[in-house]
Structure 1
Amino acid sequence: MSDPKFAVVDLEKPYKLGDTEHKSIKVRKPGAGELRGTNLNALLNSNVDQMLTLLPRLTMPPISEQELADPDIIDVADFTALVNEVVIFLTPASLRG
């Protein structure tokens, strides 16, 4: 059974950190403390700047804001998949349909 506090995003374009190639990224459901300094409405609207602030707090392996913003490291399709998982975590189950 999968853990509702985590999502795994299989990457279309694997990336390397050091000598390790990563084919997936685990995203953790944020807690209130990790949402500090962000705007919930902007996050729910997939605002890129807000997601670049939040995602480094939630990804395993940890990915910096600069790495997330670099299309040579994280492909835009993979970034979008990470963002979608965060939005799902932030959306109440009653609204997910």
Structure 2
Amino acid sequence: MAQAKENTTAHVSEPIELDTPIQRGDTTIEQITLRKPASGELRGVNLADVLQMQTDALIKLIPRLSNPSLTEHEVRQMDPADLVQCGGEIAGFLLTKRARGEAA
């Protein structure tokens, strides 16, 4: 059972502290988490673009993976440093365990 928990937590990022919080009405979003995408959630995006952290690919993908769920508009308004940080997390999810240097 402990191994199953490890696998689950490996599919969710550590909280990402936003350099520039996102204002949504009366709510301020100061941090988000991202989860590892399922194959279907990658539809409509080029994996090479995601791995190269192309802005358009990240804008399309982050709303599908973020908690709290961000809108495409909110991602478009995101601080570039925050966008790069999210892109790095997502790119890491797409690497194999071997590429990440983890035991299989």
Question: What do you get for the CA RMSD once the two structures are aligned?
Answer: 1.6
Shift of 1:47: 1.3
In structure 2, what is the Cα distance between the partners aligned to 1:94 and 1:45? 19
Counterpart of 1:13? 20
CA distance in 2, matches of 1:67, 1:51: 12
Moved more, 13-22 or 34-43: 13-22
Per the alignment, residue 33 of structure 1 pairs with 40
**How does the TM-score come out when normalised to structure 1?**
0.87
One-letter amino acid of the structure 2 residue matched with residue 82 of structure 1: C
Secondary structure of residue in 2 paired with 1:25: strand
- State how many pairs are aligned: 94
Q: What does the per-residue CA deviation read over 1:4-31, in whole Å, with 9 as the maximum and x for residues that have no partner?
A: 1111211112222121112101111100
**Cα distance in 2 between the residues matched to 1:96 and 1:46:** 17
d(CA) in 2 for partners of 1:35, 1:11: 24
Counterpart Cα distance in 2 of 1:15 and 1:65: 12
Return the match for 1:44 from 42, 47, 51.
Answer: 51
Superposed displacement of residue 69, structure 1 = 1.1
Structure number with the higher helix fraction is: 2
SS at 1:37 equivalent: coil
TM-score normalised by the chain length of structure 2: 0.82
Greater RCO between the two (CA within 8 Å, min separation 6)? 1
Task: Report the identity percentage.
Answer: 35
Structure 2 portions without partners, runs of 5+: none
More strand by share: 1
